[in-house]
Amino acid sequence: MSERNSRWKGKKQTFRLETLQVHAAERLKMPPFHPTTVPIYAATAFESERAATLDQIFAGKIPGYVYSRHANPTIEALEETLAVLDHGTTAIAFASGMAALHAAFLSLKLSPGTRLLSSRDLYGATYILFNSLLAPFGVQIEFLDLRDTGLLRAALTKKPRPKGLFLEVMTNPLLHVIDVQSAIELCKRARIPVIVDNTFATPMLTKPLELGAAMVVHSSTKYLGGHGDVTGGVIVVEDRQQGAALRALRKITGAVPSPFDSWLTLRGVKTLSLRTSRIFQNASVVASFLENHPRIERVRYPGLPSHPHHSIARRLFGKRGYGGLVTFQIRNADKRQVLCFMDRLTVINSATTLGDIYSELLYPAISSHRDLSPAHRRSLQIDDNLVRLSVGIEHKDDLTEDLSQALG
């Protein structure tokens, strides 16, 4: 029993109710029993047995906990797991995927006039982050169609030297599979760090740090959490110093996840491989079903031989699968007809998220890409008859039957 606890022992009766009701439970430690799962340390601050210990923790001389914005055991337990998943040395958890992306970009030490290269095909909010936060600050963001490595090669030779390249492995919502290996190779030669948003592919399909990326970012709201009950993000890095710098950045900006959300994510991560293997199998069945349906104009799924990047996906993902997202266009459907199709779905949720155990359908034109002008959407081929399905773990036949009845 700790010194503090033994000091407490025997004196309980002498404290007043007001004191007991806030202190009693925490002092009742139960050695030698240890929980088999990480407890939720819902504590704002941590005491040390001696004030000198606190001094040393603050000075960074010994590890420990003082304040949950700096470090918390439940959050750290999640971070250790996520670092392992992506084969990094350090993971830094954030309150959301957007908070993680924001920190990743801030860490590049951008300043007015600096250049940042980015894939043109992006999650809508990331695009807005670039245009509404970084561009007004004077950062020049150059959006490239990364399907053409020649464009990247040319952008890397222009001056001033770009501070980094950002890309998503599988783009949202069109599911282009970027040749991450070649893009990283080109950037490595030019000594430009690459930040990869691996949310869609998950560490189950690809580990960009192994290919030489500087940072991997996930919205852990999606496949990592996996149960539609948490919002979170993470950056994983190989370089310990960079990890420490990102941790210091999070301490200042304060975008830490709550211990409860971290615990939920940690619980979700434990079944990531089980969930994704079922999801990837289901997605492959659903994609083939849709490709043969007369009401479907086009299906985009990297596992289909008809997908333009099928061979890149095969090289990048190996035999591990092709992801859980299937994007498709309903033949000749206008906005009203797409909304009717969504209303007719019974098993599949119409929900603005992905990567859950539940199947979820998203209509980009009214949700994730709503803030882009119709002309911009058209230029990205995000047409009004295009929807994105995140396939869940339900029985595959229930999913195809649901789609069949909703398509009519």
**Closest distance to ligand PLP from the beta carbon of 372 (Å):** 15
> Sign of dihedral through CA atoms 327, 124, 102, 149?
positive
Least Cα distance to 166 among 148, 154, 184 occurs for 184
**Closest distance to ligand PLP from the beta carbon of 122 (Å):** 8
User: How many residues at the interface with ligand PLP, by CB under 6 A?
Assistant: 14
Stretch that binds ligand PLP, among 7-15, 92-100, 323-331, 370-378 (CB under 6 A): 92-100
Calpha distance 360→347 (Å, rounded): 9
Applying CB under 6 A, which of residues 74, 81, 96, 242 lies at the interface with ligand PLP?
Answer: 96
Q: Is 233 in the site for ligand PLP (CB under 6 A)?
A: yes
73-85 per-residue burial string, b: 16 or more CB within 10 A, e: under 16: bbbbbbbebbbeb
Applying CB under 6 A, which of residues 114, 172, 202, 282 lies at the interface with ligand PLP?
Answer: 172
Q: What are phi and psi of 106, to 5 degrees?
A: -60, -35
Instruction: Output 97 or 323, the one with its CB closest to ligand PLP.
Output: 97
Instruction: Output 368 or 400, the one with its CB closest to ligand PLP.
Output: 368
Instruction: Output 96 or 359, the one with its CB closest to ligand PLP.
Output: 96
**Closest distance to ligand PLP from the beta carbon of 101 (Å):** 6
Amino acid code (one letter) for 346: T
| Pairing state between β 360-362 and 349-350 | parallel
Applying CB under 6 A, which of residues 41, 123, 263, 301 lies at the interface with ligand PLP?
Answer: 123
Residue nearest to ligand PLP as judged by C-beta position? 97
**Closest distance to ligand PLP from the beta carbon of 77 (Å):** 20
C-alpha dist (Å) from residue 42 to 73, 104, 234, 353, 383 = 10, 27, 20, 27, 45
Residue ranges in 210-229 that form contacts with ligand PLP under rule CB under 6 A: 219, 221
Instruction: Output 105 or 123, the one with its CB closest to ligand PLP.
Output: 123
Contact between residue 68 and residue 259 where contact means Cβ atoms under 8 Å apart: yes
Instruction: Output 279 or 296, the one with its CB closest to ligand PLP.
Output: 279
Stretch that binds ligand PLP, among 13-21, 94-102, 251-259, 398-406 (CB under 6 A): 94-102
Stretch that binds ligand PLP, among 5-13, 197-205, 326-334, 392-400 (CB under 6 A): 197-205
Instruction: Output 97 or 164, the one with its CB closest to ligand PLP.
Output: 97
Calpha distance 55→52 (Å, rounded): 5
Instruction: Output 200 or 341, the one with its CB closest to ligand PLP.
Output: 200
Contact between residue 108 and residue 116 where contact means Cβ atoms under 8 Å apart: yes
Contact between residue 361 and residue 349 where contact means Cβ atoms under 8 Å apart: yes
Q: Is 324 in the site for ligand PLP (CB under 6 A)?
A: no
Contact between residue 62 and residue 212 where contact means Cβ atoms under 8 Å apart: no
Least Cα distance to 256 among 223, 234, 283 occurs for 234
Calpha distance 35→313 (Å, rounded): 42
Instruction: Output 77 or 170, the one with its CB closest to ligand PLP.
Output: 170
Residues that bind ligand PLP (CB under 6 A): 96-98, 123, 125, 168, 172, 197, 199-200, 219, 221, 231, 233
